[in-house]
Structure 1
Amino acid sequence: MAGVYDLDELYANTYTEEDRRAFENQPESAKKFLIAWALALFLGPVGAQRYYLGYIPTAVLKTALCCGGAVFMALGLANIGLALLAVVGAWTVIDLFLLLSGTMRDQADHRLSGYTRYGGICAALTVLVLVGWLVLALVIGTSAGVAG
């Protein structure tokens, strides 16, 4: 079906110049996006990015859940420990999505500085790191299953 389309009408709900200006006019935090992203990616299970951004109560809760999961695993209560660690893992992935989408801000609700510059490349690197961890887990799991 070939035809002439009104692209303005077709893409009327997309990100506009007015949206970009509104985003850039929002107050910017002194907190850096790259630091928050690195903390979320590598120390996310203990809530490091939440401490950095000033969300202390939820950071303490996340740290407690992570430590509790590790303690239950060490005590031989693997089901409880794995359940707690699964909650922490899911919470960490959600935090990464919130951070990479620009939704997670500092405690004063200011956007993180450097997001517009580094958001895209950090998203790509996050996918690569998560896929790498998944492959590593599959290799270790398969090796453990074969070994015994």
Structure 2
Amino acid sequence: MAGDYDLDELYANTYTDEDRLAFENQPESSKRFVIAWALALFLGPIGAQRYYLGYFTTAVVKTSLFCAGVALLVLDVPNAGLALIGVVGAWTIIDLFLLLSGTMQDKADHRLKGFTRFAGICAAATVAVLVGWLVIALVIGTSSGVAG
């Protein structure tokens, strides 16, 4: 059955010149891609990139969830607190993917300034930072498990 399909024909020209022109002719935002990306990477759990891009409602929801998670941890309700922080962490990673794919634009639905120039570099840096955080978390988790 797999031999019935011509995969070269199926996947040929999926990104045409018309697609490129349509992307280039989109209005460009005054908001900068690199700033939105850095805010998402380092301050994403509090919704900083959403405030920057004008999505105030979802930014407030994200900030509230994060603060509620921290408050629950402080009040010694670790399961609920970690669950909320986990939801916010997953939301932050999704926001990073949306930014790096060009899907997340500003509130006026304009593409971010500098996206085509910096998206590849920022994607590589994102992978490096996330892998670094994962290694640090594994080292801390392993050493705390061994220590006590």
TM range (shorter): over 0.9
Unaligned runs of 5+ in 1: none
Of 97-106 and 11-20, deviating more is 11-20
Give me the whole-angstrom Cα distance separating, in 2, the residues matched to 1:101 and 1:6. Answer: 25
- 1:96-145 CA deviation, whole Å, 9 max, x = no partner? 00000000000000000100000011011101100000000000000100
Indicate the residue corresponding to 2:72 in structure 1: 72
Aligned residues: 143
**TM-superposed deviation, 1:14:** 1.7
Amino acid at match of 2:105: R
- 1:50-100 CA deviation, whole Å, 9 max, x = no partner? 000000000000000001000000010001100100100000000000000
Please give the residue correspondences for 1:63-142 in structure 2 after superposition, counting only pairs within 5 Å: 63-142=63-142
Give me the whole-angstrom Cα distance separating, in 1, the residues matched to 2:146 and 2:110. Answer: 51
The 3-state SS of whatever aligns with 2:14 is: coil
Indicate the residue corresponding to 2:59 in structure 1: 59
- 1:20-73 CA deviation, whole Å, 9 max, x = no partner? 111000000000000000000000000000000000000000000001000000
Indicate the residue corresponding to 2:3 in structure 1: none
**TM-superposed deviation, 1:6:** 9.8
TM normalised by structure 2 equals 0.93
Unaligned runs of 5+ in 2: 1-5
Give me the whole-angstrom Cα distance separating, in 2, the residues matched to 1:97 and 1:129. Answer: 14
